[in-house]
Chain A
């Protein structure tokens, strides 16, 4: 009796898990499937197709005409810089607000955290004006500044939490040895913050990797365009060729998915840590 119920329970359990997995994955399988066919094979009734001829040239077109390498390089570069800046700035500010003794520490911290409540898109219009005036539109700064600004509050929030949990004794010892504050921050405290740095880095990366609203407003030449542009530009360029559009979508999605699958344990841990705390 009991084992029977357990068996049913197991079946239910697996059914739920597999059903959800299918829902989450099937659209992507569909995407890849059709990206290998030709456009008129779209208009069939079945769920998936077996392409008459596997057309890798769809991907070749997507790769070349979608400026894939350039945009990928830009994305990686901009996001890496943003992550580094966010980590450094949040450690510095976090340390100053948590450990240093000054009157305005709480005020400054609250002010910086306020950024978390501000919807990023509300700054699109005024920032466009500002960036135009100072001439940073169509440069890397037009993306770096807002990316850093809007990831900083979360980074700072996480960092202050972690800094607090570091025992004071270590720093006291360092002071006895005659270390200055800068050395304490970067050589004593920072190495202890490694797990939190990973968390902040992952959260920042995920926040900004897929952003395109600001990119499409502030950028015009291909020099700094990021990966989502491969898709955005392609729908116009190849409006009459669905298969190639599918190929460019699959290609654009690939780098993040592959990196995620490789690092999945670390990323999920990082997200879990960051999100539950944040």
Chain B
């Protein structure tokens, strides 16, 4: 009896491996790729790449040794938006450099950040996505895991002035920004018109509007509250409207002293709490993830959706029904009563970007690839053409007039901006602070912790 069982298990196992044989060719190549990496020739390869870099000058298609670059990306969707753009450039680079093979490991933002930190201990891939924000970068740079870049090389890459600042430490450059991110509230224009709802100009209007929408049986704003950061960005946006340009001083003071009792912080948090209590967000917002939240909006279940400008590629995503995708528009956080921030003081920053690992065995090739990506007609142009929102480089020459309505709106928002917020609150402190605020903000918004307790707890995480 038992003999039969073992035999059956074995047969099952074998038939599977035979089946798997069909796809072998593809696997074989990835395997050799990673074997290369772990083999002792890694150092030698690095040297060769060095040599090549030295004597190449212009010869891009040098047919040197095979090189495998590992790219670790936070863009798992390789068929839409930013991930598509990244993949396009990778394919292009591999075609131009047949000796180079680029392996991509892509994870969701949250999973990405977790695994990045694990990698930071040891074994960082060659090219990585990073965020030019203290919560992410400070500890990483202190540990020296990212390679220094030569700022002079990028003089004609048309980076927007100031956009490199977040990626520097002691005047040295360690990464390059990919986007200019603006915090937006997307809305479904058709739904608004059909119900004759108006884009609100004050926060009170927004609250009233949300009440009306809710009464109509529709979710007012889809909010990704399962991850803590979108709400923290929302809070930053509110703080900008409450405290005006003062907000960044308030935040940096609070973080350096651990004292979050400033009245502006209280007011902004209270606004968030009141909004959530009034049912501004979907049921269960505090446990739903990015994809679920976005789908709520793109399937017409929610009238608005709070997210950054990088998501403007929704307008070109063919998985979204045409009726909705062509009707996506956006506005920025409306002004609050007695607030010091004006309508054009916006929450925006240069967050995401790329860097090269300091210990990469193929560092020169990695930097070469990085520079290739940032040639103005690559990330920036392709990004623009695919509706990904604003890059951190000057994009004006790629404007064709055929942009989506949403893109035009975003340009206008940026052009009209009288001030930009810089790094959102959760990313201003050390990563322990980030972890704390992103978890605690769920508790305060759903009413299970008081505003005061919330501010005390996140303060404690700064010490």
Contacts and interface: CB of A to CB of B under 8 A. Distances in A.
Note whether A and B contact each other (Cβ less than 8 A).
Answer: yes
Interface of A: 39-40, 42-43, 69-70, 72-73, 76-77, 80, 128-129, 132-133, 135, 137-139, 194-195, 197-198, 201, 216-217, 220-223, 232-233, 235-242, 255, 259, 262-263, 266, 270
B17 A220 contact: no
B121 interface: yes
B6 A201 contact: yes
Contact of A194 (B2, B9, B31, B79): B2
Interface stretch (B261-269, B290-298, B417-425): B290-298
Contact of B298 (A69, A135, A240): A240
A70 B22 CA distance: 10
A69 B12 CA distance: 14
B77 A236 contact: yes
B338 interface: no
Given A132-B121, A221-B34, A70 B5 contact: no
B30 to A, nearest CB: 6
Contacts of B115: 216-217, 220
Interface in B1-57: 1-6, 8-9, 12-13, 16-17, 19-20, 22-23, 26-27, 30-31, 33-34, 38
Contacts of A40: 299, 321
B62 interface: no
Contacts of A70: 20, 23, 26-27
B142 interface: no
Nearest to A64: B23
B19 A69 contact: yes
Interface stretch (B100-108, B150-158, B433-441, B445-453): B100-108
Contacts, number: 122
Dominant secondary structure of chain A at its interface with chain B: helix
Interface of B: 1-6, 8-9, 12-13, 16-17, 19-20, 22-23, 26-27, 30-31, 33-34, 38, 70, 72, 76-80, 103, 105-108, 111, 115, 118-119, 121-123, 125, 290-291, 294-295, 298-299, 301, 317, 319-321
A236 B31 CA distance: 24
A133 B121 CA distance: 10
B233 to A, nearest CB: 19
Contact of B295 (A194, A223, A237, A242): A242
Nearest to B318: A240
Contacts of B4: 266
A194 B3 contact: yes
A239 B17 contact: no
Given A221-B34, A239-B294, A263 B5 contact: yes
Contact of B34 (A138, A235, A237, A239): A138
Contacts of A262: 8
Contacts of B123: 132, 137-138
Nearest to A138: B34
A220 B295 CA distance: 28
Contacts of B30: 221-223
B294 A266 contact: no
Contact of B77 (A73, A137, A237): A237
A76 B17 contact: yes
Contacts of B291: 235-236, 239-240
Nearest to A221: B34
A242 B107 CA distance: 18
A261 B290 CA distance: 36
Given A137-B123, A259-B12, A240 B319 contact: yes
B369 to A, nearest CB: 18
A198 B5 contact: yes
B118 A72 contact: no
B303 to A, nearest CB: 15
8 contacts: A73-B20, A76-B16, A80-B13, A201-B9, A220-B70, A221-B105, A223-B31, A235-B291
A255 B19 CA distance: 13
